Every structure is written in C-alpha cells, then in structure tokens.
Structure 1
Amino acid sequence: MNTATPDAVRMRGVSKHFGGVRALEGVDLDIRPGEVHALLGENGAGKSTILKILRGVQSPSAGSVEIGGVAMTTFTAETARRLGVAMAFQEMSLVPTLTVAQNVFLNREIRSGGFIDDRAAAEEARRLFARMGVAVDPLAKAADIPAGHRQLTEIVKATSQPCKVLVLDEPTTALSGNEVERLFDYVRQLKSEGVAVVYVSHRMDEIFRIATHATVLRDGRHVVTGRMADFTLDSLIAHIIGRRSRGFSDVVREPAVIGEALLEARGLVGAEKPSGVDLTLRRGEVVGIAGLLGSGRSSLARILAGIAPLQAGEIRVKGRAVAIAKPADAIAAGIALVPEDRARQGFVAFHSVESNIALPNLGALSRGGFVDRAKAAGLADASIGRLRIKTDGRRAPVRSLSGGNAQKVVIAKWLATEPDILILDEPTAGIDIGSKSEIVTLIRQLAKAGKAILVLSSELQELLAACDRILVMSDGRIVRDVERAALDPGDGRAEAEALGHAEQTLNTLMQQARTETPTTRAR
C-alpha cells in the first residue's frame, strides 16, 4: 500500500493552443507540499497560461492536472478553490469601491443573524494582516490605499481560507524592503505548515532567497527543474533566456554629460505627501528615488505630472515658473509620466499599438477635427523602430505583447509628446530579466540624448544600474542625495560583488532615512 503524500501539484503533458498559437507544449510539473517553487521564464514563456490552468480559468488542450492527488476533471475557478488552490494576482482583482475587509471576504461574507457583518469582517481582516506582520486599515476603500497595501490585501485575500497550493504572482512589485521581509516570513510560515507555494517573480535576488526549487519555461516548453541549491544566478538566467546574461550588469554605463537644470522644484507640498521637497533635474542626468513603502515617491511624481494637486511650493522648467494643475499643463511644460500601474494607467490593452501611441498626441495628429491616419501610422512605425518594440505590427493589440514590449509602448507614447523631462514610476516592474536590462539601457540612451529623467523604483539594482544620482525619501521628505559613484566600494572587487555592496549600502541608507533630517548630502 502506497502511503506517500501526493504531490500538491502534478501536471503531465500539459499543452495549450490558441488557434495556431502554441502557449504550452507537453509541460510536466511536480510541486510537493512544503515547497516554495519558483516558476520562471521570460514574458511569453507560458507562465501565465500554466497559472490560469492551475487556477481553473483555462482548460488544457491536452494533458492532465492533479491537485493533492485529485484529478481536475473540470476547469473552473470554483473547482480549483475546492481542491485547495489560492492565488494572489499580479494584476489586482480588488473592487476599488469596497473596503479592504469587504474585498478580502468578497463572495464569502461573514454573516450574523442572516446579515452581512462588516464589523466582524474588519476584525478578522485585521487579524489576518497581523499574522503577516503588517498593518493595513481594513475599513479603508481599496481605491484609497497605496499600491503596496493593495498588493498585501491580495495576498491576505488569497490566504484567508485554507489552501494546499498558494500562487504568488509578482507579489513584491509594489512592496518596500520591510514589507518584502514580512511577506517572506509569512511564506516560510506557510511552507512549514505544508502549503506548496508557487512563486512567480522576475526579481532574481528574491528567488534565491525564498525559493527551494525552480522550474524554467521557455517558448511554452519545460526547460529545467531543480533545487535552488543546484543553480547559480548565471546558470538560471541562461536557462531563462537561452543565452548567458549578466542581468543589470549588461547595462553599459557611459559617463553622463550633464547640462543645465531642466526642472527645479522648491518646497513641494501635497495633500499628504510630499512634505517640502526640493528637487533639481539636469539635462543628461538620470536621478533615482528610493524609499520604503509610504515614503511619498509616487505622490511626488503625481504632483509633477499634474495628476495630484500641489498645495504649496514652486515648479520651474528651464528657469521659468510653471503652474501645473492638470496633466495637460505638465505635457505643455515638457513633463511626461510613465505610471506605475501600466495595465490600468499606461495603455488600453485591447487597442492597437498605433492607437495607444496616438492617444496623448491626438492634437498633433489631427487635422480639421479628424485624426490623420497616415501621420498616426508613421508615428507608430517610427516608435516601434526607435524602441525596438517586438510586435506583429502597429495594429497588433497591446495585450498580445510581452510585458517588456508593452512597457516600451507606454514609454513610446509619452516620448512622442517630445518631453524634456521624463518621469518613470517602477519602469521594469513585472518584466523579465532580459527586458529589464533593455529598458534600463533605453533610459541611459534617452538621458544621453539630452533628456532629464527621474526614476522611481523599489528595485535597488535597477536604480544602481540606471542612475547617476539617487535620492532617498522618507515620510514625504528627501533625506539623502547620493552620487551613484559614492556607493561603489572602490577596492577593485568583481562587478557582481561591487553591485551587491552598492545595493547593501543603499538599503542601509533607506533604513537610516527614518531618523534623518531632509537632504543630507552624501558624496
């Protein structure tokens, strides 16, 4: 009699075809209880399709799937849930008009005397967040909380009921360093309880810290499965992209040629944050902003882009004071923002590449109240060529593109407005390792062409690869202003080791920022 514990997930020969397009072909996947199993691959490798099948959203064209030894014979979200599969989505599934607690228990409402008991739901949600070691207001509306808190709510929602398999899809893209640590502690706790965690992320440092095993997909096929202890960073990246790569170390950092100040902000104050920020961006310079969750990075970007109101302070562009009350004012002043949430704020997924690039440029592309289709097509073709966007053509819907190429479309549409100042909020979030280095290389090239660029990122290696200078924000204030070169050890270490040292130093500065006064200069 076989008493061995069945695999939490067992897939055999799983294929998925969409017409003539092969998303998966003959994939085998085994995940055991108590494993943190990383599912890796470039955008378009087949990861999302695997997850949709596991979640019951799609059925395979061929092959079999078992959860805890039980075969999935019907593929619906309810079937997957009953078998013990839970998923925290990368693209947020929260209802913005509901409270955090109402989202956590949506369709599973806590009732008392036949009526929905919102107070009990709030208390239970508060307890679940406490178990993760984080504080999120369960009575706040989902639309009103920061992106990081929305991401944590997704995770609490997924784990608010017993599960055998927990899928975490890019769970840290909006989290600060401290929040990531709390999440990792929580994942380890679930692992000790026998939950199998499927962990999807393009952040390789996280993979090596939290995962016990890894499976790599490429072009819809299984490439390799193994213990993390048997992989090196180089070997894992080689499996993912099919060639050797050094990730962000592939970015060529030529010395910056820095010119005059293009943007000067003095004493900027928002409704909550920022709190008296001074900022200068110069031509040819890439400036990064690092900060823990709630530091005020995105609030600052939204004020500069005219999305959030400026309550006090002054913004000067090329030495001239400008009033920015709405996005059109920012665009007219030569400021463009590539937003953090590209899927919701950056593009219209079902529209074509051409239409998306045309959207903020309709005035320049119109004649007599009608869009000049030839001009729009020309602009799209030029943008595709300039940014090397991989697409079937300008009429392909953006939803058909990989994450990296979709992000290039967002950048392209704002570059078409011919801004002098470009603000990029989390420009490589959710993008594979090969595309990350492409985006950062593009940022360096744009600065070399004379633009001033502000990069907001929670990924420290991205900031170190992209930026000439890094500002550290805390509680709405800039408390450190650090030249990128000052973070290098300067003792002849190997490049990867030097990058690790710089990352550790920057992380220490962020932790110290909580107790510092504004704008301590470090050189």
Structure 2
Amino acid sequence: MASDLTKRYGAVRALEDANFECRRGEVLALVGENGAGKSTVSRILAGATAATSGSITFNGSRFEVSSIAEARARGVACAFQELALVPDWTVAENLALPERRGRGLFSQRAARELADELLTGLDVTHIDPSAVLGDLRLADRQVIEIVRAIAADPRLLILDEASSALSPTGVQWLFDRIRDLTATGVGIIYVSHRLSEISEIADRGTVLRDGTTVGEFTRGSWSDDDLVSLMAGRTARRHFPERPALPDESAPLALEVAGLRSEGLENIDLTARRGEILGIGGLQGQGQAELLRCLFGATPALADTWNVGGRPVRRLSPTRAVSRGMGFVPEDRKTEGLALTLGVGENLLAPWLRPASPGGDLALQRSRTWIDHVLSSLSVRTRGPKETVSALSGGNQQKVVFGRWIDRDRTVLLLHDPTRGIDVRAKQELYRAMLALAEAGVAIVWFSTEVEELVHLCHRVAVLYRGRVARVLEGDAITPDAIVGAAVGTA
C-alpha cells in the first residue's frame, strides 16, 4: 500500500500525494496519460529511485529500499518500460546478471543452463539463450525483460508497459504468465495504455493525473470513455477520428514497388497514392520491420520496379530517402529515433542538419517558428527546445520523433508502430497529425500491432505473412477477423 507518495525532481513534480493499494493475487492496473507519474511509481517500488515523501507498506512492514537489488531481495521486481538489459551480452548473460552479484567466478555454461530452464519453464521456446540480445527483435527483448523479472520469484511484480512491444500472441503469453502468478498469490501492478488489455486482465485500477490519484475502478464498472475522461480531466467521446476520404485513382502514386526483395522479404508488391494511408498488418516478425527499413534505405534491397514520387530509385540510403521526400518513425525511439543527450529542438532538426550546416543555438533560432509550431500542434510537454529530450516522458519523446516530419514537404512517411506505449490522448494527437498529413497529400505507410488502428484509420491494409504480402484488404473488407486470418495464413 502506498500512502501520500510524492516525488520531486527540483521544481518538477512527478508525483504528489499518490495513493493506491495492490492486494495479494490480484492485478492492479495503473493508468494515466504520459507524464502522469506511472513510471515514477514503478521506479520507486523497484528501488530505482527514492520517494521525496510518503510511505509504502509491503507484506505488513514498512518498505524502504535503496537499490533494485534490495527491492528484489524484499520480494519486489519490475519489468521496466525502458529495457534494463545489456544489448552486447547474450540472453543467458542478461538473465544471469541479477543473480551473480558477489558470487565469484561467472560460468557461461551455468548461465546457459539457467536461461534454458527459465525460458522453457515460462514457455519461451523460440529464443536461443546464446543469442546476443541486441540482435533480437524488440518484442523478444521485451520478453527477456519480463522473464528476468519473473525469475526473481517476486511477491509483487510490476509490469511497466510490458506489453507495448508484444504482438497479440505475445500479449496472450504474458496474460497466461500473469494468471499463473496471481494463482500463487503474487500481486501484479500492470501499467498500460491499452484499455482493452486492462479490461481483460485487471481486477481493479487506479487512475493518476499530473502525479495525483484521481480515481479508482473495478473490472466492468467503467467504459473506455469514462477512463479517458478521468485520465485527461475532460470528456472523451470518440477514440478514433474520421479517416479522410480515399484518394481516387487519378491521384498520383507516391510509392510504387514491385518484386522488392531482401533478407526476410520476398517479391513484395506495394503501391500508395498521395493522401492514402496504407496499413501494414500481420504478426510481428513476418517482415514488417524489414520492409519499412528497406523502403527507407536503412537495409539493402532490390526491386524490379521502385519509384518514389514518380522518380525511379536506384540506390537508396536514409540520407537520400530524406532528400527524396521520405520520412521514417522507427520501432525503437531510444536507440534509432533520438539523440538522448541533445535537446528537443536539435532532435526535431536532426534530419535537416548537415555536417557543414550551423547547429546549436543558431539552428534553433533560425527554425524557432517551425519548432514552436510542431511542439504546439502535438501538445508536447516540454520546458522548451533546449530541454534535453531524455527528460521527456516516453509519449512526448515519440511525438518528437514523429514531429520532425510535420510541414516538411514529404511525399511518403513510413511509420513503425508509432503509438506503441503512449497514452490514449497522445494517440489521438498523433492520429490527428497523421490524418492532417494525409489530407495534405502525404502517403503514409503504417505498420501497427493494434488491429483496431488498421481497421479504423487505414484506406487499405497489406497483411504480411512469412515475408510476403498475403492479402491486401480494402474498404469494408478491412475487418479484425480478415486481418488476423491473413496474419496467420488462413485467409
């Protein structure tokens, strides 16, 4: 139980008198907009940071810890939203890390045996313990983060956006593990922006807004609109905006590829007209990430036909792609989308700065009107363009990655699951920005792991299966059942 939990970073208030309780054997959802204080709560409970004031009671005793190791020893473990893993180490080494402190020489063989036992016991059979973590897909790295937390045998497990990178199959795997744990009396604090997941897995919930507890709910007692209204402090009535009209066949092609092939891809044919939102569906690991990277020139590829904006592509790199009018929001904002030591403004300007061009204050001054426009239009919570981007919440960081392409005369914008791990309000702001770009004539190619996004916002959906386009859905044929059926190779 947490009472009057408060955390301040100088003048910044992350938590202010937050109160909540998680009981044994239950799942408590912790919900709120980005910046509401959810991750701060997770970090305090996990021992990663200390509260400024307030108290925590755990198993009948006062809970005060000064490190993650101490929290784990007391029975509290956390799978963090920003993965606390070492990318250059193997899966086995990462899983052994928490248990090796002060235990003498490290044994690779013992680490592999431990990892194999853990992964097999938790029904994770597709990940090789000897694989280098950084070579894995983000979804599999997320699985390893969860496995490592469960391996601590906690009495309280905190899952901070643990499903954000998982496919629907991965989410079901996670829910099975949660049910196994709660059946033994483990309490789960589940932090997520996916309201459908919360309604399925949570027994109760606490809503945070601006670092303060503003309400509680139990399963089945609140609608999505009720929760969004409580989270945002305003009435919410519609989750998805109206999509713009489908461009007619006279609209010029912004992107045309035929016979595109690369590692993991085979004979991909795709077209997208100016103003069209083309969804990319399918289970994760079927070639979607490779497709977007190839289209942006980040991964080598060949094609029989490849045109961008009506001009043929011969050799493509990310620099050439930007000069040809393309933009890209990558999967992992931390490692691929942002320079975390630079400011918000410099990150927005990153694709437009060249080695010989002026940077720093001069670049910010010259582009200040545009920067202010982007920050305002996306409601980015920041103290200004010079604030270090690492100080922003995850949702606001994602807005910065997306915002660099606004009003930049783009032809094609490639999006890799841009709403992953952000709250409902931030999603709605990104939806509106996407639709505004489409209405301005930008072709959007959008891979989403949330089927409902594809159904409600895309004009067409190309579903990938084993590196091929299994089916292209249009109009009324875009349904959840059709997308899932094509994704598993049954339709």
Number of aligned residue pairs: 488
**Aligned with residue 87 of structure 1, among 61, 78, 83:** 78
User: Are 2:403 and 1:412 equivalent residues in the alignment?
Assistant: yes
> Matched residues in 1 for 2:348 and 2:334: separation?
15
User: Are 2:252 and 1:260 equivalent residues in the alignment?
Assistant: yes
Counting only pairs closer than 5 Å after superposition, residues 497-516 of structure 1 correspond to structure 2 as 502-511=479-488, 513=489, 515=490
Tell me if the contact between 1:99 and 1:138 (Cα under 8 Å) persists in the aligned partners: yes
User: Are 2:94 and 1:117 equivalent residues in the alignment?
Assistant: no
Describe the SS at the equivalent of 2:245: coil
Tell me if the contact between 1:55 and 1:86 (Cα under 8 Å) persists in the aligned partners: yes
Match of 1:133 in 2: 123
**Aligned with residue 143 of structure 1, among 134, 153, 158:** 134
Cα distance, 1:358–1:364 mapped onto 2, change above 3 Å:
farther
Tell me if the contact between 1:470 and 1:484 (Cα under 8 Å) persists in the aligned partners: no
Describe the SS at the equivalent of 2:230: helix
User: Are 2:262 and 1:270 equivalent residues in the alignment?
Assistant: yes
* 1:34-57, Cα deviation, whole Å (9 max, x unpaired): 111110000111111111110112
Higher relative contact order (CA 8 A, sep 6+): 2
Cα distance, 1:87–1:385 mapped onto 2, change above 3 Å:
closer
> Matched residues in 2 for 1:420 and 1:373: separation?
25
Mean Cα deviation higher: 347-356 or 31-40: 347-356
User: Are 2:180 and 1:189 equivalent residues in the alignment?
Assistant: yes
> Matched residues in 1 for 2:470 and 2:484: separation?
14
> Matched residues in 1 for 2:225 and 2:303: separation?
49
- Give the share of equivalent positions with the same residue, in percent: 38
How far apart are 1:311 and its partner, in Å? Answer: 4.9
Cα distance, 1:372–1:75 mapped onto 2, change above 3 Å:
closer
Give, as a single letter, the amino acid of the residue that structure 2 aligns with 1:119. Answer: R
RMSD over aligned CA atoms reads 2.4
Cα distance, 1:157–1:71 mapped onto 2, change above 3 Å:
same
Describe the SS at the equivalent of 2:99: coil
Counting only pairs closer than 5 Å after superposition, residues 180-219 of structure 1 correspond to structure 2 as 180-219=171-210
Cα distance, 1:129–1:324 mapped onto 2, change above 3 Å:
farther
Tell me if the contact between 1:247 and 1:433 (Cα under 8 Å) persists in the aligned partners: no
TM-score (norm 2): 0.93
Mean Cα deviation higher: 395-404 or 206-215: 395-404
Counting only pairs closer than 5 Å after superposition, residues 316-327 of structure 1 correspond to structure 2 as 316-327=307-318
Give, as a single letter, the amino acid of the residue that structure 1 aligns with 2:154. Answer: C
How far apart are 1:131 and its partner, in Å? Answer: 2.8
Mean Cα deviation higher: 345-354 or 464-473: 345-354
User: Are 2:284 and 1:296 equivalent residues in the alignment?
Assistant: no
> Matched residues in 2 for 1:437 and 1:321: separation?
35
> Matched residues in 1 for 2:102 and 2:377: separation?
57
How far apart are 1:120 and its partner, in Å? Answer: 3.2
> Matched residues in 2 for 1:292 and 1:88: separation?
23
Describe the SS at the equivalent of 1:366: coil
Cα distance, 1:320–1:115 mapped onto 2, change above 3 Å:
same
Cα distance, 1:313–1:67 mapped onto 2, change above 3 Å:
farther
How far apart are 1:109 and its partner, in Å? Answer: 4.1
Match of 2:347 in 1: 356
Match of 2:216 in 1: 225
Describe the SS at the equivalent of 2:367: helix
Describe the SS at the equivalent of 1:288: strand
Match of 2:7 in 1: 16
Structure 1: gaps of 5 or more residues: 1-9, 488-501, 517-523
* 1:473-515, Cα deviation, whole Å (9 max, x unpaired): 111111010014323xxxxxxxxxxxxxx3344333323x2x5
How far apart are 1:115 and its partner, in Å? Answer: 4.4
Match of 1:494 in 2: none
How far apart are 1:283 and its partner, in Å? Answer: 0.4
> Matched residues in 1 for 2:304 and 2:339: separation?
34
Describe the SS at the equivalent of 1:73: coil
Tell me if the contact between 2:306 and 2:313 (Cα under 8 Å) persists in the aligned partners: yes
Match of 1:496 in 2: none
> Matched residues in 1 for 2:360 and 2:5: separation?
51
How far apart are 1:225 and its partner, in Å? Answer: 2.4
Tell me if the contact between 2:16 and 2:211 (Cα under 8 Å) persists in the aligned partners: yes
User: Are 2:366 and 1:375 equivalent residues in the alignment?
Assistant: yes
Tell me if the contact between 1:110 and 1:121 (Cα under 8 Å) persists in the aligned partners: no
> Matched residues in 1 for 2:364 and 2:284: separation?
43
Mean Cα deviation higher: 23-32 or 394-403: 394-403
Cα distance, 1:486–1:345 mapped onto 2, change above 3 Å:
same
Mean Cα deviation higher: 367-376 or 330-339: 367-376
Tell me if the contact between 2:3 and 2:18 (Cα under 8 Å) persists in the aligned partners: yes
Give, as a single letter, the amino acid of the residue that structure 2 aligns with 1:455. Answer: W
How far apart are 1:110 and its partner, in Å? Answer: 11
How far apart are 1:119 and its partner, in Å? Answer: 2.8
Mean Cα deviation higher: 463-472 or 198-207: 463-472
User: Are 2:334 and 1:343 equivalent residues in the alignment?
Assistant: yes
User: Are 2:234 and 1:239 equivalent residues in the alignment?
Assistant: no
